[in-house]
Amino acid sequence: MSEATTSPLAAHVGKHPGEPNVMEPELIADPFTGYGALREQGPVLRGRFMDDSPVWLVTRFEEVRQVLRDQRFVNNPSSPALDCPPEDNPLTRLMEMLGLPEHLRVYLLGSILNYDAPDHTRLRRLVSRAFTARKITDLRPRVEQIADALLARLPEHAEDGVVDLVRHFAYPLPITVICELVGIPEADRPQWRTWGADLVSLDPKRLGASFPAMIEHIHQLVRERRGALTDDLLSELIRTHDDDGGRLSDVEMVTLILTLVLAGHETTAHLISNGTAALLTHPGQLRLLKDDPALLPRAVHELMRWCGPVQMTQLRYATTDVDLAGTRIRRGDAVQLILVSANFDPRHYTDPDRLDLTRHPAGHAENHVGFGHGAHYCLGATLAKQEGEVAFGKLFAHYPDLSLAVAPERLERAPLPGNWRLNALPVRLG
């Protein structure tokens, strides 16, 4: 890890021995070992959330899926079913600690990820129309075209023969795709890249400057687009909002756009960079893929399992006392689902540490929790998988001799809890 986290949240680390805090540097630096050890201690453990509030850590595959399917758990910490004063809920405390002004908090609380049925169902239905399997398949030629164009230009970015793939391929591909889909003008896209990085940094200074700017920018975009609606997602959401059926509030519309653009690239970029690094350090597996491109969909499943970028979910809250694998979770308790330990659970996988692109049988649904599970299962999973397939397929077709330009142990990762992301991926094109 090259940089210490600048977040004030790190101040709580170590306050409660025996109750791991997700901000602990060891867990951030090597979540595979850290959460793997916790998984072997038990399926449900006491831990601490970023703001130091108590949380149950759920570490094993079956139990993680069980909670994500269980409707006794909710996502909204202010849910009437919980009877928790807003000032006590971890999300409010987190926003306070990060210095997020009061009038902007609604935009985080109004996220689809913090909603429960029936509001969650209403929002999800509105937006999932844009992400049907058919729509995503129709997008494929355009995704391929964008990937081809970016790859053709890689040599222009080489310095001493070295290109940073994070900067010049892994980010621009999903940013371009999601911005075209939503309808974000080309000139604004570099700005979104910066905002996205600021938002995930958990650094109050960066967040405090970027978040208001981002919200204002979306309002502005909506005002402009209203005068000239098109067939993009932004226009569709504006139409839904304006037709006065009460189906989409102002805050919900802005938050949805924000969520889609950020979730649409901040994650996929790291599937592409983590996956490329994994393939370059496993030449036998890469050879299999080069010899048989039909392996790509299964390879993406395995790369999502083995080095997926999202390593834990949002918190869930118990609306009633629940017995989980012998542990009593009390009403109101917060639960954190640890996807990274679930994805390496030896109770579920044979030889889980091994990267095996043939692990997932052809034509079968994915067998990992890297995109979550249940009602909040990633809305963009089909798109992300397609982008992964196109990215890996095209990258190694254009540059069959691609190689890492630094030793694998020198690859630097961002020190962020729950996120597995490379700061840079220096490669030689061959």
Interaction of residue 94 with ligand HEM, rule CB under 6 A:
no
Interaction of residue 262 with ligand HEM, rule CB under 6 A:
no
Interaction of residue 259 with ligand HEM, rule CB under 6 A:
yes
Interaction of residue 352 with ligand HEM, rule CB under 6 A:
no
Interaction of residue 124 with ligand HEM, rule CB under 6 A:
yes
Site mask for ligand HEM (CB under 6 A), range 387-416, x = bound: ------------------------------
CB-nearer residue toward ligand HEM: 97 or 271: 271
Interaction of residue 178 with ligand HEM, rule CB under 6 A:
yes
Write the DSSP string, 209-247.
HHHHHHHHHHHHHHHHHHTS--SSHHHHHHHHHHTTSSS
Q: Is the peptide bond before 212 cis (omega within 30 degrees of 0)?
A: no
Residue list 142-171, contact with ligand HEM (CB under 6 A): none
CB-nearer residue toward ligand HEM: 380 or 426: 380
Interaction of residue 260 with ligand HEM, rule CB under 6 A:
yes
Return all residues near 28 (Cβ < 8 A) that are at least 6 apart: 1, 5, 415, 416, 417
Upper half-sphere CA count for residue 233 (Cβ side, 13 Å): 24
Site mask for ligand HEM (CB under 6 A), range 280-299, x = bound: --------------------
CB-nearer residue toward ligand HEM: 211 or 371: 371
Site mask for ligand HEM (CB under 6 A), range 367-386, x = bound: ---xxx---x-xxx--xx--
Choice from 7, 21, 210, 267 touching ligand HEM (CB under 6 A): 267
Contacts 24+ apart (CB under 8 A), 50-53: 50/7, 50/9, 50/12, 50/21, 50/22, 50/23, 50/94, 50/202, 50/417, 51/9, 51/12, 51/90, 51/93, 51/94, 51/97, 52/12, 52/15, 52/16, 52/21, 53/90, 53/93, 53/334
Choice from 36, 43, 90, 309 touching ligand HEM (CB under 6 A): 309
Please state, in angstroms and rounded to a whole number, the distance separating the CA atoms of residues 225 and 248.
17
Return all residues near 300 (Cβ < 8 A) that are at least 6 apart: 271, 275, 385, 388, 389, 392
3-state per-residue secondary structure call for 47-99 = EECCCCCEEEEECCHHHHHHHHHCCCEECCCCCCCCCCCHHHCHHHHHHHHCC
CB-nearer residue toward ligand HEM: 299 or 429: 299
Please state, in angstroms and rounded to a whole number, the distance separating the CA atoms of residues 223 and 74.
34
Question: In the structure encoding, which two tokens stand for residue 81, read together?
Answer: 């079913």
Interaction of residue 268 with ligand HEM, rule CB under 6 A:
yes
Residue list 55-74, contact with ligand HEM (CB under 6 A): none
Interaction of residue 311 with ligand HEM, rule CB under 6 A:
no
CB-nearer residue toward ligand HEM: 390 or 429: 390
Interaction of residue 313 with ligand HEM, rule CB under 6 A:
yes
Interaction of residue 113 with ligand HEM, rule CB under 6 A:
yes
Among all residues, whose Cβ is closest to ligand HEM? 380
CB-nearer residue toward ligand HEM: 47 or 372: 372
Minimum distance from CB of 174 to ligand HEM (Å)? 7
Write the DSSP string, 373-411.
-GGGS-TTHHHHHHHHHHHHHHHHHH-TT-EESS-GGG-
Choice from 58, 67, 108, 112 touching ligand HEM (CB under 6 A): 112
Q: Which residues make up the interface to ligand HEM (CB under 6 A)?
A: 112-113, 124, 178, 259-260, 263-264, 267-268, 271, 308-310, 313-314, 370-372, 376, 378-380, 383-384
